[in-house]
Structure 1
Amino acid sequence: MAAVYDLVPRIAGLNVRSVLLCFIVFLILTFIVHRQRRRIKNPPPGPRSWPMFGCLPELVRDINKIPMHELFCSLGQKYGPVCLLYTPFGQAVVINGYEAVHESLTCEDFNWRSPDSSRELYELLRAKGIIMASGDLWKEHRRFSLTVLRGFGVGKRSFEDQIASESECLMHEIAAGNGKPFNPTNLFCNAVSNVICSVVFGKRFEYHDPEFTNLLYLLEDSLSHIAVGILLMMMPFLAKIPFFPKGGLPSLLQIRLNLKDIVNLHRDTYDEENMRDFIDVYLKDLQMKKEQGIETHLSDDELVAVVHDFFLAGTETTSTTLRWAHLYMLEYPDVQKRVQEEIDSVVGRDRLPKLSDKPNLPYTEAVIHEIQRFASIVFMSVPRFTTSEVKFRGYTIPKGTHIVSNLYSVTRDPSICDEPDVFKPERFLGEDGQVKKIPEQIVFGAGKRVCLGEQLARMELFIFYTHLMHRFSFKKPTDAESLNTRPKPGTVLTPFPYNICAITR
């Protein structure tokens, strides 16, 4: 008992010291926040910022009620197109509405990426690639990549046969199911990924290849823990705390390690007279610049990072769009029927659709546009970063601010599309029945950082979608529950898993 009494003063003293320490930290943070806010003249409006916590209490309260893309829209409705958020980890600006979003995407001052502190956790993640690069590193790699991809025919009509060949493999796998229910996620992901793999790796993978399956699993896992991943980017020291979740970073690292092995294999089998793929061309250009003493940002580690970016961007968004497309065909069978009737009338039953058929398939193309708009898969741009104080739309945005452009607010803007929450392909058709472009629909972004693979993605979507509509009718399994067309939160908006039956036509 005496021992217990002896502990009381220690515990009490510890509590006093802890409370005092917390109080001092609280005062310091309060001083910093208020000093920072006073220093900014005419900042954008935003939620109330509490000392030490910033606006996190309000954000956490709301995020438990609505998903992030809707939360961003609600901020725009409450505070206007430019909204400033203070957090304990720094400040961020959320931009809503077409005009403000388009201006932010094309603004030269917003072309920088945030310093990614999570890369300090793993040596191999320090390479930026293209998506997370800025300045001369980004310019050189984007320019080089565009040149090489075009050299391999990516985005050109000549590349159609390669996509069509993969589409045939996909349809063969689907037909083997004999109309039984199946989850299309893996098949769509495998097929779309193989298109970019054929250019970057010089080969396609069989759908059940264990190496390929593992890479796709790691990719999905790395994207499914976005909240923890963002937290670790902002506060990398948290990763050193035992039992603290590491988000998708371990999977991200493993992808880089696997891709590094592929690059090393290319290096071992490299033949200067036989350029097999993107990796070979990169290795050749890197070696040439080293021999000639030309200053360059190309490097072995950056090659792995660039290949990773291609693998990610060339797999996730297009395969997810196909998943949404077929879910919507189950939800709107009349749309599926009309698409099939149009394809049959133009193409017939003896061959598959081609890109040259597109001008004669206006309703089908309008459906593809509406799928992209309605799904809003990439609901926000990859965050930008201000390296200096910026004047934007009459406001002052401080240095070191993350800029988040809410693309979802554009696809749901009633001033651009009437009844934006209704799936209506006809909105993309003019009075003459031909496809009507809506320039405000910037699903691939805008400005200098517009999606590098936009042309390839458009080709893939048209070929895969029209081939599948031509060959199969897709139906909901008889014992399936009602369809869930709400998106699953994540880095991209994906549909919840569903089963589908493919009936050969």
Structure 2
Amino acid sequence: MLTVVLIILLVVAWVLYKNKKPKNCPPGPVNIPLVGRAFAMNQNHPEKAFVEWQRQYGPLYSVKMGSDLMVVISDPALLREAFNKPASTGRMAGPVLEMLGVQRGLIFSVGEDWHVRRRFTLFHLRNFGMGKARLEDVIREQVDAFLEHVVAPSEGQPLTIDHSLDLAVVNIIWGIVAGETMSMKDTRVLDILEKNKSVADKAKRLNIAVMVPWLLKVLPRSLFRLDEVIELFNYPKTHLIAPVLEAHRRDFDPTSEPRDYIECFLLEQRSDPQRFTDEVLARSIGDMFSAGSDTTSTTLRWAFCLLCARPEAQRRIQAEIDQVVGASRPPSAADRQQMPFTEAFLMETQRFGDIVPMGVLHSAEQEFELGGYTIPRGTILVSLLRAIHRNPAHFPEPEQFKPERFLDREGRVRPSKALMPFSVGKRSCLGEAMARSELFLFLTCALQRYSFAFPAGFQHDLSSADRLGVTTPKPFEVVPTRRR
């Protein structure tokens, strides 16, 4: 009997110890032993609970998810300070993420592996045109294909642009990665896009296991759909990346100039086979797909929705296009400096759409100070972008879509340090330059030739769909009309 009592006391003491917050930790909600506040989250919109706690505890607070301590940051200055510290460049880890193998890619890698992969990828993306005129030609080719094969045949008719928009954006990345362009009807990519969306739907239950990993040891894996998620997560690697990699390996000539990212990787693999493995390549390409294409295509989807909901803004952008570009040539990235309202519209679309409302989670690799508090090593750092982008102190009337907020009295672009759709600091989005070019050229090339409206009688409430991880607008159709 005494042994049983001692065991119970030891377990209780361990639970209380694990539930206790460190000294000088930011304030936050009371945590439930073993699970923290994981079950307080809305599985479709987890950011909602974090925003509610932010209203109560302020722009820097802490909360436990399982046994993990999270520090949530929603002040722009504090976020920049935190994410510019070398100590904040870690990533969240755990058994679920290990089973998915995400640490072998770009987004979730850490330490020296992350430094090497990011430097390698950024160098070769720039070599293949990111941020240069060469990339503009690639983007315009995809815009032309989108307008010719998707928009033109549906002129005057309701059109859903989801998959075709996704494919056009994926093709830009795929051209750099694999040196080939896929048709708008390529079933390989359409299947992958479907599987990617299925991952987001099925991962809602798994999100709890990520936060409270010990649940996987006491509950059936099927309850979290773990095996289904792993299979879907690996689908792009198995059905697209692996076959293309093998084809590249057969034709690869190490004495010739590399033609794409895969060949650059194969060349590097010959000198450092331990770090540059096939698995690392597959995961890195998958990360470029998900981070580069999904967020950009979702932002464009918001842009088309907002163009139809705010026709006066659409006409104002078209007036800038007519004045600066005209009809005799396509828009160029160089035109951006002379098109302030168009730039302001894109900035407001990113703020209003708030595509990744909680950013990508960081982890503290070392203890550091922030805002007068101590952030312990191993703390998960959350950039609560939803609270920043919807804070009336930074953006008056935040629930209203107002591109003019990014213009000064003379009509010039007025950037805001509180707008951070690509995150900030040492792990900010490495494809930011490419994404900005894609957004500007897609929008202006489309509006140079077409006007867009909702079908007669339809109104969009500008709310988002229930999709984990990415904030996308509820479904809508557009009716394109050729400009004369």
Amino acid at match of 1:485: L
Task: Check conservation: 1:226, 1:491, Cα contact below 8 A.
Answer: no
Q: Distance in 2 between matches of 1:349 and 1:264?
A: 44
- Residues 368, 284 of structure 1: CA spacing in aligned structure 2 closer, same or farther, 3 A cutoff? same
Q: Deviations over 1:251-310 (max 9, x none)?
A: 1122222322321221122122252210011101111345xxxxx622221111111111
- Residues 34, 303 of structure 1: CA spacing in aligned structure 2 closer, same or farther, 3 A cutoff? same
2:265 equivalent in structure 1 = 282
Task: Check conservation: 2:408, 2:414, Cα contact below 8 A.
Answer: yes
Q: Distance in 1 between matches of 2:474 and 2:409?
A: 36
| 1:297 partnered with 2:278 | no
1:129 equivalent in structure 2 = 105
Gaps of 5+ in 2: none
Of the three residues 225, 233, 239, the one matched with 1:245 is 225
Matches within 5 A, 1:53-132: 53-56=35-38, 59-60=40-41, 63=42, 67-121=45-99, 125=101, 128-132=104-108
- Residues 311, 478 of structure 1: CA spacing in aligned structure 2 closer, same or farther, 3 A cutoff? same
- Residues 475, 24 of structure 1: CA spacing in aligned structure 2 closer, same or farther, 3 A cutoff? farther
1:195 equivalent in structure 2 = 172
Q: Distance in 1 between matches of 2:410 and 2:224?
A: 59
| 1:139 partnered with 2:115 | yes
Amino acid at match of 2:266: L
2:243 equivalent in structure 1 = 261
Q: CA offset at residue 479 of structure 1? A: 4.8
Q: CA offset at residue 243 of structure 1? A: 5.1
- Residues 201, 46 of structure 1: CA spacing in aligned structure 2 closer, same or farther, 3 A cutoff? same
Of the three residues 14, 19, 41, the one matched with 2:23 is 41
Of the three residues 482, 487, 491, the one matched with 2:464 is 487
Q: Secondary structure at the match of 1:487?
A: coil
Task: Check conservation: 2:355, 2:471, Cα contact below 8 A.
Answer: yes
Gaps of 5+ in 1: 1-20, 291-295
Amino acid at match of 1:263: L
Q: Distance in 2 between matches of 1:100 and 1:37?
A: 26
1:157 equivalent in structure 2 = 133
Q: Distance in 2 between matches of 1:355 and 1:156?
A: 9
Amino acid at match of 1:152: F
Q: Deviations over 1:466-485 (max 9, x none)?
A: 011111111111253x3131
Q: CA offset at residue 249 of structure 1? A: 2.8
2:302 equivalent in structure 1 = 324
Amino acid at match of 1:355: A
- Residues 239, 220 of structure 1: CA spacing in aligned structure 2 closer, same or farther, 3 A cutoff? farther
Q: Distance in 2 between matches of 1:232 and 1:172?
A: 45
Matches within 5 A, 1:67-466: 67-121=45-99, 125=101, 128-173=104-149, 174-234=151-211, 235=213, 236-237=216-217, 241-242=221-222, 244-246=224-226, 248-258=229-239, 259-272=241-254, 273-289=256-272, 297-466=275-444
Which deviates the most, 384-393 or 271-280? 384-393
Q: Distance in 2 between matches of 1:362 and 1:127?
A: 40
Q: Distance in 2 between matches of 1:193 and 1:396?
A: 42
Report the structure number with the largest CA radius of gyration: 1
Q: CA offset at residue 119 of structure 1? A: 4.4
Q: Secondary structure at the match of 1:315?
A: helix
Q: Distance in 2 between matches of 1:30 and 1:161?
A: 64
Task: Check conservation: 2:36, 2:64, Cα contact below 8 A.
Answer: yes
Q: Distance in 2 between matches of 1:488 and 1:201?
A: 32
Task: Check conservation: 2:162, 2:301, Cα contact below 8 A.
Answer: yes
1:15 equivalent in structure 2 = none
> What TM-score do the two structures reach when normalised by structure 2?
0.91
Q: Distance in 1 between matches of 2:326 and 2:102?
A: 52
1:10 equivalent in structure 2 = none
> What TM-score do the two structures reach when normalised by structure 1?
0.87
Amino acid at match of 1:70: K
Q: Distance in 2 between matches of 1:195 and 1:24?
A: 63
Q: CA offset at residue 382 of structure 1? A: 1.1
Amino acid at match of 2:261: F
Q: CA offset at residue 242 of structure 1? A: 4.1
Q: Distance in 1 between matches of 2:440 and 2:222?
A: 48
Task: Check conservation: 2:87, 2:367, Cα contact below 8 A.
Answer: no
Q: Distance in 2 between matches of 1:45 and 1:491?
A: 26
Which deviates the most, 263-272 or 370-379? 263-272
Q: Distance in 2 between matches of 1:298 and 1:485?
A: 44
- Residues 226, 241 of structure 1: CA spacing in aligned structure 2 closer, same or farther, 3 A cutoff? closer
Task: Check conservation: 2:88, 2:366, Cα contact below 8 A.
Answer: no
Q: Secondary structure at the match of 1:233?
A: helix
Task: Check conservation: 2:38, 2:208, Cα contact below 8 A.
Answer: no
- Residues 329, 288 of structure 1: CA spacing in aligned structure 2 closer, same or farther, 3 A cutoff? same
Q: Deviations over 1:409-464 (max 9, x none)?
A: 22122222222221111111122222122233111111110100000000000000
- Residues 322, 48 of structure 1: CA spacing in aligned structure 2 closer, same or farther, 3 A cutoff? same
- Residues 54, 72 of structure 1: CA spacing in aligned structure 2 closer, same or farther, 3 A cutoff? closer
Q: Deviations over 1:175-215 (max 9, x none)?
A: 11132112111111011110000000111111111112112
- Residues 198, 282 of structure 1: CA spacing in aligned structure 2 closer, same or farther, 3 A cutoff? same
Q: Distance in 2 between matches of 1:175 and 1:25?
A: 72
Q: CA offset at residue 32 of structure 1? A: 2.4
- Residues 474, 30 of structure 1: CA spacing in aligned structure 2 closer, same or farther, 3 A cutoff? farther
Q: Distance in 1 between matches of 2:279 and 2:73?
A: 34
> Root-mean-square deviation (CA), in Å?
2.5
Q: Distance in 2 between matches of 1:335 and 1:25?
A: 67
Amino acid at match of 1:212: V
